[in-house]
Amino acid sequence: MYVCFSRSKEAIPTSAGFCRAMAAAGGRSPARSAASATVVAQELGPLAGVPFTVKESTAVEGVPTTFGTARFRDLVAPADALPVARLRAAGAIPIGHGNMPTLILAGMHSRSELFGDTVNPWDPSRTPGGSSGGDGVAVATGMAALGLGNDSGGSVRIPASFCGVAGLKPTAGRFPADHRVLGPDDPGPASQMLVTDGPLARRVTDLRLAYEALAGTDPRDPRAVPVPVHGAPLPGRTKVAVVADPGGHGVHPTVREAVAAAADALRNAGYDVQEAADVPRLDEALEAYGRITVTEFAETWPVVRTLPGKGGDRYIEMAMEKTPPATASEFMKLMGAWLGIRRSWAEFLDEYPLLLGPVFTEPPVEPGLESRDRAGQERVGAGMRLCTVTSFVGVPGVAVPTGVTGGLPSGVQIIGRAFRDDHLPDARDLVVDGVEPGDAPLEAEVPR
């Protein structure tokens, strides 16, 4: 705990991963509570004393949930969000909010109106990713042992990969959540089905404890499914499909090399690793994802676009110009296509229980590329395509660091069957040239 606070003091001035530290927020003192429990020999949770950050869009009792916009500067949360409460119940201690793109809508790069840029500690000219970028940086630099983000198309896995840590996007319905932050109404189908909370840590093994604490059900989330946290082992050698270039749209040589090295590591560990022609219905899934999400944004966008501050609407505005909202008839067809694509993926994963591929098909890109112009947005969209489609079909994926190439972290992701998050292999089977905790340098300067 004290090591993390010491690292926070070193890293905050240069990384801007934290929006604010929580040591003085509210009336709770969880560190003292943990110490008191030890004194009186009370039973501690599996995460007792473990410090974690929380994405700025996720409520922590007594602390503003600003979404990075000045309009919500004083939006103090009356209670913990469900995943925060579950981590607290396991003994973990929230120590800060992690920065993110304003309202999560300003792009992939974690720059917010209120808190500015979050810097990739490996190279300030590269983005740390997003939208859970502040949590990725906090974990990479040793400010926190765990980060709590959320992912609807790569927002946990991309910052994990770009910062050299591990990140889990669970099966949709595996962790209970309640995303009614700004009012009493639930969001539309895209936000209901695509957004999943997920942890970041420096090792996949560290994710397991967080996964076990976060998994379960809650009456406030009827989407959460009462399935076992751990299931029966797969019989025989586990088949792993390898797809280095999903959809055949191109992949950077260093990313292809990382996937190949991870495949060799899995093969050497006893997995039945096979090259697969491609993943199911990628382009169709990407088009449906775009139409469904844009249609959901369209009704409220005239009001919402006024909230992110200067230039904060550019990313969504470009997306809506490219992809017009669907009509009612088209939307119904899209919902049917969504189910069909999920079925195709279930059949694929029935043959191959695990899929190995890239998190992002390039090394970390420059900050704000996706919001700069149409070409930049399309390039970033193509880079994250495997993350997008796996969020769309609701299956679990874990980003795993594989080393450092050209001074930047490299990584891959492993995808599994729905509700078999426990099949995702241990990091030790994948790490080729391990990224040790705290290896991320701290000398980066925040761009002005």
| Tally of CB atoms within 10 A around 21 | 16
155 counts as catalytic: yes
The one catalytic residue in 55, 57, 112, 371 is 55
Q: How far apart are alpha carbons 62 and 207 in whole angstroms? A: 27
Q: How far apart are CA 80 and CA 84, in angstroms?
A: 6
191 tagged catalytic: no
| Cα–Cα distance, 416 to 334 (Å, whole number) | 24
Strands 93-98 and 51-55: parallel
C-alpha radius of gyration, the chain, whole number: 20
C-alpha distance from residue 168 to each of 13, 183, 306, 387 (Å): 28, 28, 32, 11
In which order are the strands placed within the sheet that holds 196-201?
A: 18-21, 93-98, 51-55, 146-151, 196-201, 166-169, 397-405, 408-416, 354-357, 239-242, 272-275
As a dihedral over the C-alpha atoms of residue 83, residue 86, residue 90, residue 96, rounded to 10 degrees, the angle is 40
Do you find a cis peptide bond into 131, omega within 30 degrees of 0? yes
DSSP 170-202: PPTTSS------SSSS---HHHHHH-EEEEEES
Six-digit token pair at 285? 């899934």
Catalytic residue among 131, 161, 371, 410: 131
How far is Cα 295 from Cα 76, in angstroms, rounded to an integer?
30
Tell the burial category of 448 from Cβ atoms under 10 Å away from its Cβ (0-12, 13-18, 19+): exposed
Residue 8 a catalytic site member: no
> In a 3-state reduction of DSSP, which class is residue 65?
coil
Set 155, 161, 391, 410: catalytic member: 155
Tell me which residues are annotated as active site.
55, 131, 155
